[in-house]
Copies of this chain bind each other. A is one copy, B any other.
Amino acid sequence: MLEELKKEVWQANLDLVKHGLVLFTWGNASAIDREKGLVVIKPSGVSYDEMKPEDMVVVDMDGRVVEGRLKPSSDTPTHLVLYKAFGAIGGVVHTHSTYATAWAQAGRDIPNLGTTHADYFGGDIPCTADMTREEVEGDYERETGEVIVRRFAGIDPVYVPGVLVKNHGPFSWGKDAAEAVYHAAVMEEVAKMAAVTLDINPQATMNPHLVKKHFSRKHGPGAYYGQSSGEKGS
């Protein structure tokens, strides 16, 4: 069942390790089959070394395990909220990558300070509000998704394919699991660049003309980066 998608999700999880984005089991990737309404996700707390494609867990949109002998990632409810709210996305990733997590702990949006950022994120990478006691003590992982969705009121998740959950860490997404991983790696890199930039010049700002230009070089009908129009350089 969904063997191809399981392979993609398995590969995406391994790529998180390859890019240095996870220590131990601190990350997870998933993908959705929109037609079937099923999500494939990493099992909880399993070592990346031992994971096989067939260990990926299939859940329905209510989080019920449809296939798989292991428990799904404890962050599954967060992924499901994002798939429901953001209809254009096909893959979701969560990590505790060092610099993106530091910005999340700092409670600050990652400012758009250069074209590396602007090539993939059409604005600052937002940080969510504090979660309330009720949210934390209630259905916590689902509420984590809700606090993300509320933060994206007025923001197109395709133009800003990632978020910082305050005092927690980054989530990212894309058209599939591979692109969600790609955006997780970009977010970590621009998080590091932004921290170093503000260390050098606390007053650093972006040239506003570059914002639209760079994002549109790689996205939308006028894209001219890569070998075919609309390619995102992956």
Contacts and interface: CB of A to CB of B under 8 A. Distances in A.
Interface stretch (A1-9, A32-40, A107-115, A155-163): A107-115
Contact of A107 (B137, B204, B234): B204
A38 to B, nearest CB: 21
A70 B101 CA distance: 38
Contacts of A67: none
A43 interface: yes
Interface residues of A, number: 65
Copies in the complex: 4
Interface in A153-187: 166-169, 182, 185-186
A103 B192 CA distance: 12
A167 B210 contact: yes
A102 interface: yes
B114 A45 contact: no
B201 A108 contact: yes
B207 A130 contact: yes
A182 to B, nearest CB: 7
Interface in A178-234: 182, 185-186, 189, 192-201, 204, 206-207, 209-210, 213, 217, 224-227, 231, 233-234
7 nearest A-B pairs in the assembled complex, by CB-CB distance: A45-B226, A106-B201, A102-B196, A106-B200, A136-B209, A105-B197, A105-B114
